[in-house]
Structure 1
Amino acid sequence: MDDELKRTQQGVLLAVLAYLMWGIAPIYFKALGDVPPFEILCHRIIWSFVFLAALLYFTNGWPTVKETLRSKTKVTYLLITSVTIGANWLVFIWAISIGHMLDASLGYYINPLFNVILGMIFLSEKLRKLQWFAVALATAGVLVQLIVFGSVPIIAIMLAFTFGMYGLLRKKVNLDAFTGLFIETLVLLPVAFLYLFALADTATSHLGANSLTLNVLLISAGIVTTLPLLCFAGAAVRLRLATLGFIQYIGPSLMFILAVFVYGEAFTADKIITFACIWAALIVFTWDGLKNNSNNKKLAAAQRKEALEIDITNETLTQDLNQTDPRR
């Protein structure tokens, strides 16, 4: 039990670190405000590839990469996920650069609810009543912003959609996070190199002309991308999904705080209503998850008790037969 408790504590620490890093990532991208978003994306791809390649070398992960590349099905899925995660990264960087951190925060708040809908559509998962209610609340928040205020939270929807589809497709691949991300960055690497070293012609595109501070920041994109993923992967194997579900709200909550209280983004009436609906939906969604998890535990305990009683009854009957049958 002590080992299990220690493992859980390690998992919680790793998960908190992962979501803290994801939550404060906008500070890093704000520091690169003079660099165009697509240029930052290219650096993110290149330096993530380098960092992941080093990790795979030191952890003897190359055999898994080679084995994965032999599977046409997995490679096909990873080709699609590479585009999906690349689009998600680009939208996020662009949102931060134009001062729409609140929309980015909203996107990652919506994501768990969006995942439920994707599960229903593509995995034939059935929604419980409270889950339907949570989805309806979130939808109402978006519709109020659209109909009453005439604005669409397009950034939030794009982030939720791309990250949700990415998670769904990666679940189909059933591959560890690092091998998958390495192959995805490998797929995107030619585009990043082509743009950065052949097409880009901005004040920051030539590394030799940049300041040392800027180049260090750009190279750090690999660590900023991969380090939270390392912590998350470590947490995922140590914690239950329900526990991770709670901790995941640290990320968008930190983005929300940064947007409103540090970078002074306007928390206008349309956003207040939308966020209120989303927060209410998440409370309902989380409550339903806790309730369902508790019911599943009770059911499993009852089934174990019933199975034990059947075993004891069968054992008793066998003993009685052995005592009464003279041939035994």
Structure 2
Amino acid sequence: MTDARAGLLAMIGACTIWGLSPLYYKLLASIPPLEVLAHRTLWSLAFFASLLFLRGRIAEVEATLRSSELRRRLTVSALAISSNWFLFIYSIQIARATEASLGYYIFPLVAVLLGVVAFGERLTRTEIVAVALAAVAVTVLAVREGQVPYVSLVLAMTFGIYGLAKKRLTIGAVVSVTTEVAILAPLALGWLAFVHLGQGGGTFGHDLALSGLLMLSGPLTALPLILFSFASQRIALSTVGLMQYLNPTLQFLCATLVFREPFGLSQALAFALIWTALALYSGARLSADATRRRAAVRSSTDVQD
């Protein structure tokens, strides 16, 4: 099997796990979302730390934590991804998985706007149109449903801030995520101690099936990230970008076909606008990538001549 084919299969695997994750979190709907989040944090730390220990790289986490600059940036990213995880878990429990999938659809457009604010990047005409269409979609939902789709907007914003905080980091994906969950671990431990000892409740240890599902949150968090990292090194970034739409598409199908969440005219119109915006945005990015590749080929040919 070629590297490119292996990378493509790994990317499909990562996006499929992410996209079908609502089915997993629906099984934990009887557990408060903060408790689920705390377990996800701790079991992710256990899984990632074990992986790095076996590979002889656990010292990289310690070195990262000793760097004040890295620790500051990863604290921001840790808080952002933790907020993202919590809201996603919560959205499944309150039957807003459709709205959650919309958040991951609009994330690339939110990321473009964050690039403008944080780095002074300029929007192309196509990107301006795509962002405007997304804004119209959100407005349609707000007017027709009587409330702003806060789940979608906050999910997209927290994931965008997460990416912003990790932009240009030189440490590997597994090391950075391990450091993030290590930073969050004291909060997770504190909350579980409060739930189990302070309130005399908690699920873990009282229900064998649910305890096993909570432990599974570690591998389910780690595996797609590892697959994504593997894929990113072997396939073109344009392919990575397009393949990531598989994630919210599967989430959308889970919400509408499995959970039977309502999907009326306003949702249909909003999603149609978002899909149109993403088609324009992706088409422009693919065209720009193709232009850069042709320019690189011409430059290489000129040097050889």
* Equivalent pair of 1:111/1:163 in contact (CA under 8 Å): yes
* Unmatched tracts of structure 2, length 5 or more: none
| Distance apart, 1:131 and its partner CA | 1.4
Code of the residue aligned with 1:57 in structure 2: it is F
| Distance apart, 1:162 and its partner CA | 0.2
Q: Distance in 2 between matches of 1:180 and 1:308?
A: 40
Q: Distance in 2 between matches of 1:114 and 1:219?
A: 33
Find the partner of 1:12 among 8, 14, 18: 8
Please show how residues 299-314 of structure 1 align to structure 2 within 5 Å: 299-309=295-305
* Equivalent pair of 2:31/2:203 in contact (CA under 8 Å): no
1:63 is aligned to 2:59: yes
Q: Distance in 1 between matches of 2:24 and 2:111?
A: 27
* Equivalent pair of 1:35/1:204 in contact (CA under 8 Å): no
> After superposition, what is the alpha-carbon deviation per residue over 1:87-111, rounded to whole angstroms, capped at 9, x for unaligned?
0000000000111000110000001
* Equivalent pair of 1:120/1:127 in contact (CA under 8 Å): yes
1:153 aligned residue: 149
1:37 aligned residue: 33
Could you tell which deviates more after superposition, 198-207 or 46-55? 198-207
> After superposition, what is the alpha-carbon deviation per residue over 1:112-131, rounded to whole angstroms, capped at 9, x for unaligned?
11111112221222222111
| Distance apart, 1:151 and its partner CA | 2.3
Code of the residue aligned with 1:184 in structure 2: it is E
Please show how residues 92-131 of structure 1 align to structure 2 within 5 Å: 92-131=88-127
Code of the residue aligned with 1:294 in structure 2: it is A
Equivalent pairs counted in the alignment come to 304
| Distance apart, 1:149 and its partner CA | 4.1
1:207 aligned residue: 204
1:246 aligned residue: 242
Quick one: percent identity of the two aligned structures? 35
Find the partner of 1:163 among 144, 159, 165: 159
1:175 aligned residue: 171
Q: What TM-score results when the alignment is normalised by the length of structure 1?
A: 0.89
Find the partner of 2:222 among 216, 220, 226: 226
1:142 is aligned to 2:138: yes
Code of the residue aligned with 1:127 in structure 2: it is L
| Distance apart, 1:146 and its partner CA | 2.2
| Distance apart, 1:202 and its partner CA | 6.9
Q: Distance in 1 between matches of 2:127 and 2:10?
A: 28
Q: Distance in 2 between matches of 1:20 and 1:166?
A: 21
Q: Distance in 2 between matches of 1:293 and 1:186?
A: 37
Q: Distance in 1 between matches of 2:293 and 2:183?
A: 43
* Equivalent pair of 1:48/1:185 in contact (CA under 8 Å): yes
Q: Distance in 2 between matches of 1:45 and 1:270?
A: 36
SS of 1:198's equivalent in the other structure is helix
Code of the residue aligned with 1:196 in structure 2: it is L
* Equivalent pair of 1:49/1:186 in contact (CA under 8 Å): yes
Q: Distance in 2 between matches of 1:60 and 1:157?
A: 40
Code of the residue aligned with 1:260 in structure 2: it is T
Q: What TM-score results when the alignment is normalised by the length of structure 2?
A: 0.95
| Aligned residues: CA RMSD | 1.6
| Distance apart, 1:64 and its partner CA | 1.6
* Equivalent pair of 2:101/2:251 in contact (CA under 8 Å): yes
Larger radius of gyration: 1
Could you tell which deviates more after superposition, 8-17 or 166-175? 166-175
Q: Distance in 2 between matches of 1:240 and 1:112?
A: 17
Code of the residue aligned with 1:186 in structure 2: it is A
1:76 aligned residue: 72
Find the partner of 1:193 among 167, 189, 210: 189
Code of the residue aligned with 1:208 in structure 2: it is G
> After superposition, what is the alpha-carbon deviation per residue over 1:284-309, rounded to whole angstroms, capped at 9, x for unaligned?
01111111111112222222233333
Runs of 4+ with >3 A deviation: 199-204
Q: Distance in 2 between matches of 1:176 and 1:292?
A: 27
